[in-house]
Amino acid sequence: MRQSKMLVPTLKENPSDADIASHQLLVRAGYIRQLASGIYTLLPLGKRVLSKIEKVIREEMDRSGAQEMLLSALQPAELWQESGRWYTYGPELMRMNDRHNREFALGATHEEAMTSIIRDEIGSYKKLPMTLYQIQNKFRDEKRPRFGLLRGREFLMKDAYSFNESYESLDESYQMMFDAYCRIFERLGLNYRAVIADSGAMGGKETHEFMVLSDVGEDVIAYSDTSKYAANVEMAPVVQTYEKSAETPLEKEKVATPDQKTMQEVADYLDHGLDQGLKSIMFEVDDKYVLVVTRGDHEVNDVKVKNLYDAKVVELASEEDTKRLMGAGFGSLGPIDAPEEVEVVADHAVEAMVNITCGANDEGFHYKNVTPGNDFAPDRYADMRFIEEGDPSPDGKGIIQFARGIEVGHVFKLGSFYAENMGATFLDNSGKSQTMVMGSYGIGVSRTLAAMVEQFHDDQGIVWPNQVAPYQVHVLSLNPKKEEQRVLADKIYADLLAEGLEVLYDDRPERAGVKFADSDLIGIPVRIIVGKKAGEEIVEMKRRDSDSKEELSYDSVVEEIK
Ligand code: ATP
Ligand code: MG
Ligand code: MG
Ligand code: MG
């Protein structure tokens, strides 16, 4: 492609609204432009890189046996009402009405849409297991869209869903996706960790996040180079010991001042948890399990949680239900099947959570419905502490260190939550009707692009690895007004194209300094410079990731590059 004809609007200065390298460089090097907050246009260079990342993802999805589809972004509200998420997803879900005043949502994720297809089209165990995927734009009205492509309101996601006949089969599909994700992020050359994203307190290891290590990441992960253990700190408290207390602190329905120490423990636990970005906690009360969910900004470590929070209490019948709920969805807590839902806004999340968990009135805290014999949960958490840097890893094979990470992928064992709510059943091999078991698996494709720039750049610009670079070779004719430079550069451009290489040819009538600076910004792996020695048919070759240059004669250029 001739750069003189291409839409590559490079900028000398960093855009004022961009604080991190990927956002700055993608704008400056002419890959993206902002249309509105959290909404971006991918310019030709950006689109080329995105397509290459998609290609790697497609190849590995297809290799794992997953089938590609394309679902609509626009979805009728009824689907979301069936699963229950219409009522629980909150303001992140973009909703709208059509001209007949029917309600719709723009897909934030596609569990419902995919489940409805499978429910209608698959009825027998013979077709199971089945994994389907798509690469499509998602819409989320993020509270704080920021960092360019890292947190957009419209962004490209690869989302896959497995439909299984049993939990054992789900384990297998999950493992296949997990392995495919490892291959994808390895092929992209990213420094990443697959981390446990489940709360230790909730048990199970049914969800993993793929985190690219980067100081601009919004998550903190605990890992060790010598152990396989890696976890999202936010979700990975370590329960040291757990013993139920023999004492029963309070009686049923009795309004009383709680045991101060116990209350302090709850508060400390919540406080620490919220500092770490904890979003939910489960308590046992009166044979029921109560899930408390906070919503709001979760700054990790540096900013204390003090601002307005919503806290939600949901009573659930069983521990199993609660766990299922915790695992019910991509990024949201999914449908809440209990009708009783209390919304509280407080200026301190801890207070709100303690209040609504324990019950409170003007006289102060009190526990509601705590049956004698049945302990209240604080005891359960009394010995809990969060993992710290320098701790031995839980498997004893390494020492824990912390790092920031960008969540580029997430694999999730959903269980039968959606299938049950939406009636996705099948006949097993004895002709009995059974509910399907599901998994869901997402990769933020546009976020991955930005994460790659975070890992692959220097002070001058982007340094693409070959597998995703928008072009493989950048040919620069330093002064195209000089006949011999223009002719030689034209020849080299034609030769490289004939070899099947992807070539960007800077044939613009710009100063050499501008061309070098732009070439550094854009970050194509190999550069061929046609300059003063063009008359002798000698050019220079330089790799973007090294400072050294070498001279080449015209006839060896193709050989050197291919
Ligand atoms: P986050 O914790 O960053 O908000 P999430 O957990 O809500 O992400 P998932 O629901 O797990 O996201 O979606 C799957 C993947 O989609 C994520 O792992 C991430 O890579 C990507 N993703 C999610 N939200 C965004 C966004 N606003 N902009 C770009 N990519 C996103
Ligand atoms: Mg996630
Ligand atoms: Mg997340
Ligand atoms: Mg999110």
- Write out residues in the chain with pLDDT < 70, as ranges: 198-205, 234-372, 374-387
Q: Which ligand does the CA of 440 lie closest to?
A: 1
Ligand 2 centroid distance, CA of 107 (Å): 15
Asked whether 404 lines ligand 1 (CB < 6 A), one says no
Taking the CA of residue 109 as reference, the ligand 1 atom at the shortest distance is: 10
Write the DSSP symbol of residue 104: E
Ligand 3 centroid distance, CA of 327 (Å): 12
Task: Find, among 55, 254, 64, the residue nearest to 135 by Cα.
Answer: 55
- Supply the pLDDT for residue 327: 37
Ligand 3 centroid distance, CA of 429 (Å): 38
Is the ipTM reported for this complex over the cut 0.95? yes
Q: Is 418 in contact with 440 (CB distance < 8 Å)?
A: no
pTM of the model: 0.79
Residues 415-463: tens digit of each pLDDT: 888 999 999 999 999 999 999 999 999 999 999 999 999 999 999 999 9
Q: Is 344 in contact with 293 (CB distance < 8 Å)?
A: no
Residues 243-276: tens digit of each pLDDT: 223 333 322 222 223 333 343 444 454 455 444 4
Task: Find, among 88, 87, 85, the residue nearest to 115 by Cα.
Answer: 85
Block residue for tokens 């180079």: 225
Q: How far is CA 217 from the centre of its chain?
A: 11
3-state secondary structure 196-234: ECCCHHHCCCCEEEEEEECCCCCEEEEECCCCCCEEEHH
Q: Is 426 in contact with 128 (CB distance < 8 Å)?
A: yes
Question: DSSP secondary structure string, 466-514?
Answer: TTT-S-SEEEEES-TTSHHHHHHHHHHHHHHHHTT--EEEE--S--HHH
CA-only gyration radius of the chain, Å: 28
Asked whether 461 lines ligand 1 (CB < 6 A), one says no
Asked whether 273 lines ligand 1 (CB < 6 A), one says no
Q: Is 117 in contact with 418 (CB distance < 8 Å)?
A: no
Taking the CA of residue 159 as reference, the ligand 1 atom at the shortest distance is: 14
Ligand 2 centroid distance, CA of 540 (Å): 46
Half-sphere exposure of 267 (CA within 13 A, CB side): 12
- Supply the pLDDT for residue 217: 94
- Supply the pLDDT for residue 234: 58
Give the helix, strand, coil percentages of the chain, each rounded to 5. 35, 30, 40
Cβ neighbors of 303 (< 8 A, separation 6 or more) are: none
Write the DSSP symbol of residue 38: T
Q: Rounded to an integer, what distance in angstroms lies between the CA atom of residue 504 and that of residue 527?
A: 10
Asked whether 189 lines ligand 1 (CB < 6 A), one says no
Taking the CA of residue 140 as reference, the ligand 1 atom at the shortest distance is: 27
Q: Give me 60's structure tokens.
A: 């590995």
Distances (CA, A) of 331 to 207, 295, 540: 12, 12, 50
Ligand 4 centroid distance, CA of 331 (Å): 5
Q: Which ligand does the CA of 407 lie closest to?
A: 1
Taking the CA of residue 153 as reference, the ligand 1 atom at the shortest distance is: 27
